[in-house]
Structures are given as structure tokens and as C-alpha cells.
Amino acid sequence: MGAKFDKELEMLIRDKVISPEVAERIGEYYSTKDVEKPNRLFTIFGIFGALLIGSGIILMLAHNWDNFMRLTKTIIAFIPLIIGQGFTGFSILKKKSNTWKEASGTFLFFSVGATIALVSQIYNIPGELGSFLLTWIILCLPLIYVLRSHAVALLLVILSTYYALEVGLWSYRSNVIPWWYVIFLIIILPYYYMLLKKSVLGNPAAIFNWILPISITIALGTFIKHSEDLGFIMYITLFGLLYNIGRLPIFSEVRTLKNGSLIIGSLGTIISLMIFTFRWIWNDLPETFEYDLHGLYVSLTLLLLSTLVFGYTVFKNGIRAINLFQVAFVIFWIVYFFLSGNEILAVVLMNILVFTLGISAIKIGVDKFNFGILNYGLLIISILIICRFFDTGMSFVVRGLLFVLVGAGFFLANYVMLKKQERIKSIKKM
């Protein structure tokens, strides 16, 4: 038990809240509980250790040992891999703790990359970074399930994102679409689902709640290519999908800050829609949309997935639990494809949509007694008003007045809710 915990117990005894006997029993209870719980800190240090050693080996190998014979270099190349496999095999066969599995898995992950890199180096094997990353990822993907390792899964998500960017965006004049990224994602997702099933409130789940949506958001950019006219559609639909995922019943107990899908989905929706409240963007849209077939497939797949997830949440939570954020992407599809010819109507509708989203965020905040969400809603409306200053010819008096009103709104809304909260607290006390 920690020193802080002991001090707290001593204080409780001193203040006569509990008797020394009770304090002893509490101490005993927690010490037996701790024995069963694996040492989390130890696992984290194990992973970091393996991470540093692994990347250290890669750096050392990059030094390029000219003085050795080719055979010597080749044998050296396999040493980290065999050590990594040995440790991993040992932790599987001996059914070692998670710490062992996480650390050995992390080390093996790096040694696979190091060995392939070193062999390519020794024989000057040409090859693009993309194909090297692809081989590396494929050779490590099964480790996620064999070891049940969070660290390996996390590293693979990061490496897959890097692969998507390298192949789809960074290679000069690249026309390649990183479809392999989708396959990697399909392989990694069941692991995420298992993790959620096991402990949806835990920290590992929270990390994946954030890292997966971030990865997908980044990687989607590499799928746009020549379908720029569909780019916004793809992103807004993705944000709709993420928001709806964040609203799934499985996440209902998760704190908002740990619900990455919900936050990224919500912020993404607002930011993208905010861009479409400007008139110039509708002016810039071409008469007829140009896109590749694959761009259309990606957009339609995202639409289908978002609709399915939305339908499922409605089925589970009931129709009354729907909020506007969940369906904003559908409204955008309709406006973008059917009303973009009439730009004034489109702009007005977009402004109303963002305004209503702000209001609905305020309502969610009030209903949940959450000051964060309440102020988020107020912020949406404020930004919308500020944006309108740029493209409307309002006089300075009107603008000034609007600012004062918005500022007053912030104070008032927060004050009213604070009072309400205090009233409820005092009723509970009585």
C-alpha cells in the first residue's frame, strides 16, 4: 500500500472516524486485493524498456557495419529476431504474466523490422519504404491475438497509419490507394471489440478509443486522390460514423473524455460544417462533381456504415434519444448533392444546421449537468456568429451588440445551471 494511503488511515483514526481495528482490516483488505492485481506500472516500464531497446537496436544496425564479412553481418541480423522469438515463445509456453507478454511482444515487433531492414542493407536490396512497412506489419499482425498484447496492437495501428501515409500521400506523385490499411484495420478491430467487452472503462480501452479514430481520420485523406469533390462528404460522413459509434450503448458508462470517437466525431462534424457556412465554398463548387469510382465506393461504404450504426443506436436507445449530431451527415449529403445549385439556400441551411447543433449541444449539457458540453454548445454559436462577421455587411454597432449578447449568454447559461445544481444539491441534503 502507498504511504499516502497509510497516512489517510492514520488521519481517520486520529479524527475518530474509524477505530484502529477497522483501519487494520481496511489495510489487510487492500493488501490482499493488490496481490491479485498485476502491477500495472511494471507492465508499462516493461513495454517502455522493450521499446527503447528495440529502437536502439534498429539505430545500431543502421550504423552499417562495413568491417564485417557478409556472412557475419547476416548472422548478426538474425540475433535480435531469434532473441525476441525466444522470449515471446517462453512467455506463451510458460503462461507468463501480461508484463512478460507485452514486453516480449514489443521487442519482437521491433526485431522483425530490424532483421528485414538489415538483410536489405547487407544485400542492397532495393525496395520502397511502403513495401518494407507492409511486410513488417503483416509479419507482426498475428502477434496481437497470439499474445493478447495491447502494446503490439497499438504499435501496429501507428505503423499502419504510417504505411497509409507513406504509400498514399508522401510518395512522389503517388496514385496508389493504401487498401492494405483497410485490411489491417479489419484485422485489428476484433481485438478492440474484445478489449471493450473485457473492460470498457479501463485505460487500455480509453487509449484505443482515441488512437483508432485518430488513425482512421488521418488515413482517410489518402483515399481521396482525384475525388476531391467527395473529400468533404467522406470526412463529414466519417465524423458522423465516429459520433454514432461513440453513442453506442457499450460506451454509455464511459466518461466523455475517454470517449475519443464521440469527441473527434463531434468536433470534426462542427469544424467541417462550419466551413460550409461560408458562401465562397459553395461558389467554388463545380457544376458537376468529378470523382473516381473508388471515391464513390468509399463514400457510400462510409454512408452505409454510419446509417447501420445509427440505426442500431436508435434500435437500442429508442428514437427519443437521438440528437442532431447523429444525423448531421445525412442532412449534409442532401444539401450537398441536391441543393448545391442554389447556393443561398445551401448557405442558409448550413447556418441553421450549425446553429441548431450548438443549441442541441447546450441542451445535452443542461440535461447531463455537464458544464463542458454546455460551453461547447455556446462556443459553437459564438464561432458561427464571428464567422458571419466576415461575409455580411453588418454595421459595427450591430456586431458589437451581438458580441455583448453572446458574452451575456455565456454568463447567464452557466449561472443558471450552477444555481440549478446548487438547488438540487440542497434538496438532496434535506
Partner 1 sequence: MKPIYISIVFIIVILAQLGIPLKMIYDSEDTLMTGTVYKFKTQPIDPTDPFRGKYITLNFEMNSFDTLDSSYVYGDKIRVYIENDSNGFAVAKEISKEPLKINADYVMAKVVNNYNGKVVFELAFNRFYMKETKAYDAERAYLETNRDEIEDNVYALVYVKEGRSVLENVIIAGIPIQEYVE
Binding track, positions 334-373, relative to partner 1; x by CB under 8 A? ----------------------------------------
Q: From the list 93, 293, 427, 430, which residue makes contact with partner 1 (rule: CB under 8 A)?
A: 93
Distance CA 260, CA 245 (A): 10
With contacts defined by CB under 8 A, how many residues of the chain interact with partner 1?
Answer: 40
The three-class DSSP label of residue 286 is coil
For partner 1, the binding residues in 43-82 under the rule CB under 8 A are 58, 61-66, 74, 77-78, 81
Candidate ranges 86-94, 239-247, 341-349, 407-415; the one touching partner 1 (CB under 8 A): 86-94
- Find, among 151, 153, 156, 152, the residue nearest to 133 by Cα: 156
**111 near 57, Cβ under 8 Å?**
yes
Please report which helix (H) or strand (E) contains residue 246, including its range. Answer: helix 228-246
Closest approach of partner 1 to the CB of residue 335, in Å: 37
Closest approach of partner 1 to the CB of residue 377, in Å: 44
State the cell numbers at 195.
Answer: 478489449
Question: Is 288 a binder of partner 1 (CB under 8 A)?
Answer: no
Closest approach of partner 1 to the CB of residue 52, in Å: 16
For partner 1, the binding residues in 104-123 under the rule CB under 8 A are 112-113, 115-117, 119-123
- How far is CA 279 from each of CA 349, 351, 357, 390, 392, rounded to the nearest angstrom? 11, 10, 19, 10, 10
Provide the b/e sequence for 402-424 (b: ≥16 CB within 10 Å). beeebeeebeebeeebeeeeeee
- How far is CA 18 from each of CA 2, 3, 9, 12, 23, rounded to the nearest angstrom? 19, 18, 8, 6, 7
Closest approach of partner 1 to the CB of residue 104, in Å: 11
**192 near 212, Cβ under 8 Å?**
yes
Distance CA 115, CA 107 (A): 12
For partner 1, the binding residues in 128-157 under the rule CB under 8 A are 129, 132, 135, 139, 142-143, 145-146
Nearer to partner 1 by Cβ, of 98 and 382: the residue is: 98
The residues of the shown chain that bind partner 1, judged by CB under 8 A, are 58, 61-66, 74, 77-78, 81, 85, 88-89, 92-93, 95, 112-113, 115-117, 119-126, 129, 132, 135, 139, 142-143, 145-146, 173, 175
